[in-house]
Structure 1
C-alpha cells in the first residue's frame, strides 16, 4: 500500500527545515520548523481533549452540553484530523481509495456522528502522535546515512591562472591541481602531490584511525585532511568519484525493497478494501439475524473494526526495520545496495572467496633472507643493486629492505626472459632469478628450496650459489579469526579460489582452516567453479573479491561482496554489498546485521497481526471499545517502531 506523507510528519522533530518526500531525497523547506511547532497541533488537541473529558466526568461546567460540547471536541479534533482528512481526499482524487487516511477519517467522523466525541478525538490524536514518533524513529535510523551524506565536499581550491580559487567540485576537470587545507574535506579522488598526508576516513570506512598516505598514492574524496596543507592532482570528475557514486548508491538503497516488504505492501492493497467492506457488513448484516438490532451499536462496532484493521503498523514498521538495518550497516562501514540484500545475507550457506586482497593484504613483503657464505647486509646490497633495475612487484618488495652503509651500483644489467636478471656489481657477476636460471648456469641449488611454496628469489655471485630471499603476501590480521567465526555462525561451506599458484593457495587455505581451495585460476575458471556450486539449488552463495578481475563472479553469485570498495569502480558497479575497509571480519558483521534485521521485521509482523486479530474478534463481538482499537493500531505501531530502533543500539563484533 502506498504510504503518503501527512503534514504532521513532514514537519520532523529536530529537523533543519528539510523534509523527506516519497522520492526518498531531501528537499529544502521554505521555513525552518522547531520542535515545539512540530508538536503544537498534537499538544493543543491533547489539552483540549483532557479538559473536555475532565469537564464531562466531573460535571464542573453545567452548560458543557449540546452544541457547546460538540464545538469543543470539533476544535480539539481539527489540528490533528484535518491533515489526515486532507491526505485522504488527495488519495481519492488520485485514484487510491483504500488508504489508512480514509480508514482513520471514516472511523473518527463516524464516532462524532454517533456522539462518541472524546473517542473520535482520541483516535485521531493517537494516530497523529504515532506519525510523529515514526518521524523521530526515521530520523534516528537515518542518522548514520546522513553522516555519510555530510561528507559530500562543498568546494574545491583549484589552481588556475597562477592562483588557487574556490569553485564547485563539479566544475573541476581531471588533471587539475587542488589544494586541501587542514580540517577540510578532499573534494575529488586524486593522487597526492605532497610528500605525505594524514587523513580521517571514518565517514568512508567506519575506521577512526587516521590513514597516512605517501606521495603518488591515491586519496579519496570525502577524506578529511588532518595534518598540513596538501596538494592533489585529480584523477576523476566529481560525478565519477568514489564518494559520489557511493552516496548515490546509499540514497537509493531503500528503492530496492526486500521480498518481505514488497509482499506486505501488496498485501495491504488487497487487505484494506476487504476490511472496509467487512466493516459495512458488520454494520448492516446483523439486521437480518439479530432480533434487538440497534444500528448505533453495530455502527460503533464497525468503526472499531476499521480503526483496528488499519495496516499502518505493518506499513510503517517493516520498511523502518530494514532502513534501520541499512543505517546500522553503514555505521559499521558496510554498504548494502538495498534491503533485498539484507534478506539475502541471512540465507547464505556457502561462501566463496578470492585470496589476494581479500584474506591477504595483496602486498609482497620479505618473509625470509638466507645468505650462504655472505653477511646478510652485503648479500642484500648485491641483490638490491640488480633489482633496482626491475619494475616487478617482487623487486619493489626487495627494495624496501633496510640496510646500512653505502649502496652498491650495478652495471650491464640484462633480463633473461622467464628466468631472471644478470648484471655486474663491484666487478662480480650476479645472477638473480628462479631455479631455471641457476641450472642454466650450472649452479647447484640446495634441495631445501624445493619445499618453499612462496615466491623465492635465488641469488648466485660469481657462479656460486649465495642464498635466497622468500617473498610472501601477508595475511590480514583478522583473516583467520573471520574463518573461525564464519563456521560458528553457520557458514560451513567455505571455498577459496585464487589466480595465484596452487601451492601458495593451498598453504594459505591451511593457515586459515579452509578445506576447499583451488589456485592457478583465470577469472572464467572462478566463474565456472561458482556455476558448478549453483547447480545445487540448496546452495546460497556469497562471493568475496576485490571487484576487478572478480567482477563476473560477483555478478553471478547470490550476493556479491566487494572488499576495499573505495578503490575499485568495478566493485561499486558489480557488487551487492561493499565492505568499505579491507577487513574480512566485516563480512561476519554484515551477516549478523542481516539476521538481526530480519528477526526484528518478523517480530513486528507477528506482533501486528497477533494483536489485530485478537482485538478484531473482540471488536466485532462488542467486547472492545475505541480505546482497545487505538492500542491495536497506534500502540502496536509504536511498539514495532521502538523494536526497529533497537537495531541502532546493537553492537556487532
Structure 2
C-alpha cells in the first residue's frame, strides 16, 4: 500500500530572492545593448560610421580608380579602424595588463594592426568592422535569450493588497506574514502561495504549469503565486512567505540554470584556452619557417598569410553559439512547462536508457476516494471518526481521502502523539486509545494479526488497529493520469526501458503496470528499498532518470543520473533535490524533456562541426596563400552568424 510519505515535516530553505540585474553577462560581451530598437542602433553609431567610411573608400578605390594620397588614406582608415575597434582594442589592452594574451580580442587586435603595418589599410579596417558586426549579432542573440529569462521575473508581482483590521492596504509582498489575508482583484496575479478563502475562483495557471486551460479553485484549495485571477475579487490566506513561494523557487531555478554549464560548454571553454595559443604559435611558424625553405623569402607575403591565419582562427563562433544553443534549450523547455536546473542536464537526458517512476502522484493523479469501509464489531461512523482524527494532519493523498470521506466528523476527535512510521503508516492516540493506520507491514511490526484475504484486495487498503486489536480496513482507489499510457508508449518508441517503484501492494502495482504497459514493476518498497533498486539498475550499467513527487522520493531523485520532480503536486524537498521539474505534473513531459535534450545536442554539435570544418579549410587556404584577409573575415563572420541562427532556431521549434 502506498504509504511512503504521510507528512512533510521538512521545510526546505527559502529561495534567495534575485533581481533581474543579477543575471550575469558573459565575458565575451563588450558592446552596450542597454537599449532596444532605435536606441540599440543609435548606440552603435561608431561602428556604423566605420562601415560607411569603409564602403565609401572601397567604392572610390574600385569604382572610380581613385588612388588616395598618403597620409590621407592612412588617416581616414585609422579613424574608421578606431571607430569600429575601440571596444576590441580596449578589451585586448585590459586583458594584456593581466598577461592574458590568448583571447579573441588580442588576436583580432594583432591581426588588424599587423595589416596596417604592411599597408593593407582597407583589409585591416574590414577585419575589425566585420568582426565587430559579428560580435554585435552574437551579443544581440545572447541578450535576446537572457531577456526571455529575465521576462519570467516580471511574473512575480511587486505589490499586494493585504487585509488588516478590516482595511485593505497595498504593500510589498515581502512584508506579508503567514496566515494573513490578501485580496486579489480580477486580472491580478496572486503574489503569495496560500489557500482560497473565498467560495470559488478561477485562475490562469499558465505561468506555473504551461497549461492554458483555466483552473477553478474552491474554498480551502491551494492557490500559488503567479496564478492570475480571472473572474471576481477573491481572498487568499497566505501559507508561505514571499521568498518561499513556489514561483520564487521556480524563478531561482531558471536563473541558476544559465550558470550550470554542460560538459560540451566546459569542453569548448577549455579547448579555446588551449586552441588560441596554439594558433598564435602556428601563425608565427607560417610567417618565419618559410625563411628556411623558400628563396627569395618575402616577409611581407608570409606575414600577410600569418595574419589571415590569425583572423580565421578566432574561436568566438564556438564560444558564443554553444552556450546560446543551451540557452535556447532551456527556454524551449520552460515554454513547455519543464524546468532544467542547468544545461548539463540537457546533455544527461540524451543518454538516458531507463526511466524509473514512482506510482502515486506521478503516474496516478494522487486523488484518492474511499471505496469501502469494513469494521470488526465497531460502528462505522465511530471507526471513520477515529481514523480521520489520526490522518487529519497528514499531507498524504490517502490521508486526505479518509478525512474528506469523514466530512464534519473528522473534527470531532483529536489525535495526540502522532508519529510517522516510515513506509508503514501512522501511530497516535485518539480518545485515550492507541491507534495504528497503515499497511499490513505496520500491523505486523506490532504483532497484530488481521485476516489474510485483506492482502489480496486490489485497491489500496488502510488497515486500522485500536489498542493492539485489528479493527477493520478502508479501501481507497486512485485514478491513472490521462497521458500516463501515452508517456509509456512514447518512451518505448524511443527504446527506453520503463520501471515503476512503489510502496503500494504488489498486486496494485502489477495492475497499474499491466494497464500502462510498464516493463518492470516493484511494490511493497520502503524508501530505502527504492534506493536499493535504483542503485542496482545503475550498477548494471543503466543511465537512469527517476521521476517522483513525494518527500521519500528525494533520496532516489538525488541518486539517479537525472532526477525529475512533479512540480505541481510535488513536495518542496523533492523539487529542490530534482534536476528537472515538470510543472504541470504530466508524465508525457518526460519524453518532451528527452526530445529537447536531443534537439539541443544535435544543434550544438552542428555548430561545432560547421565552425571547425570552415575554419580548418580557410586556415589551410590562408597558409597556402589562396585565401586573403577579406575571405578570412567573411568566413569567420559567416560561420558565427550561421551558428547563431542555428542556435536561435531551437527557441522556435514546435514539439507538438
1:45 maps onto 2:50 in alignment: yes
Q: For residue 11 of structure 1, what is the aligned residue in structure 2?
A: 33
Alpha-carbon deviation of 1:35?
2.9
Q: Would the alpha carbon gap of residues 531 and 311 (structure 1) be closer, same or farther in structure 2, given more than 3 Å must change?
A: same
For 2:137 and 2:44, how far apart are their aligned partners in 1? 10
Alpha-carbon deviation of 1:239?
1.4
Q: Tell me, what secondary structure is at the counterpart of 1:252?
A: helix
CA contact (8 A) 2:387 2:402 kept: no
- Larger RCO (CA under 8 A, 6+ residues apart): 2
CA contact (8 A) 1:246 1:572 kept: no
Q: Tell me, what secondary structure is at the counterpart of 2:243?
A: helix
Alpha-carbon deviation of 1:331?
1.0
CA contact (8 A) 2:33 2:140 kept: no
Alpha-carbon deviation of 1:291?
0.3
Which residue of 138, 145, 168 corresponds with 1:141? Answer: 145
Alpha-carbon deviation of 1:399?
9.3
Q: How does 1:340-359 map to 2 (within 5 A)?
A: 340-359=344-363
Q: Tell me, what secondary structure is at the counterpart of 2:168?
A: strand
Q: How does 1:454-533 map to 2 (within 5 A)?
A: 454-455=459-460, 471-491=476-496, 493-533=497-537
Q: For residue 588 of structure 2, what is the aligned residue in structure 1?
A: 585
CA contact (8 A) 2:456 2:507 kept: no
1:189 maps onto 2:193 in alignment: yes
Q: Would the alpha carbon gap of residues 190 and 643 (structure 1) be closer, same or farther in structure 2, given more than 3 Å must change?
A: same
Q: Would the alpha carbon gap of residues 644 and 286 (structure 1) be closer, same or farther in structure 2, given more than 3 Å must change?
A: same
- TM-score, length of structure 2 as denominator length: 0.82
Alpha-carbon deviation of 1:7?
3.9
For 1:129 and 1:257, how far apart are their aligned partners in 2? 27
Q: How does 1:24-173 map to 2 (within 5 A)?
A: 34-59=39-64, 64-173=68-177
Q: For residue 215 of structure 1, what is the aligned residue in structure 2?
A: 219
Q: For residue 430 of structure 1, what is the aligned residue in structure 2?
A: none
* 1:162-220 per-position Cα deviation (integer Å, ceiling 9, x unaligned): 42222211222222222121222211111221112211121111111122221112211
Q: How does 1:399-478 map to 2 (within 5 A)?
A: 453-455=458-460, 471-478=476-483
For 1:58 and 1:539, how far apart are their aligned partners in 2? 67
Q: Tell me, what secondary structure is at the counterpart of 2:261?
A: coil
Larger displacement relative to structure 2 (617-626 or 559-568): 559-568
CA contact (8 A) 2:204 2:214 kept: yes
Q: For residue 427 of structure 1, what is the aligned residue in structure 2?
A: none
Q: For residue 633 of structure 1, what is the aligned residue in structure 2?
A: 636
Unaligned runs of 5+ in 2: 1-24, 374-378, 392-396, 416-424, 426-437, 441-450, 464-472
Q: Would the alpha carbon gap of residues 618 and 387 (structure 1) be closer, same or farther in structure 2, given more than 3 Å must change?
A: same
Q: Would the alpha carbon gap of residues 242 and 409 (structure 1) be closer, same or farther in structure 2, given more than 3 Å must change?
A: closer
For 1:451 and 1:313, how far apart are their aligned partners in 2? 64
Q: Tell me, what secondary structure is at the counterpart of 1:175?
A: coil
For 1:507 and 1:573, how far apart are their aligned partners in 2? 31
* 1:127-183 per-position Cα deviation (integer Å, ceiling 9, x unaligned): 111122112322343454233222122012223354222221122222222212122
For 1:581 and 1:395, how far apart are their aligned partners in 2? 23
| RMSD of aligned Cα (Å) | 3.2
Q: For residue 206 of structure 1, what is the aligned residue in structure 2?
A: 210
* 1:216-249 per-position Cα deviation (integer Å, ceiling 9, x unaligned): 1221112112121112222222111111122112
Q: How many residues align?
A: 578
Q: For residue 610 of structure 1, what is the aligned residue in structure 2?
A: 613
1:312 maps onto 2:335 in alignment: no
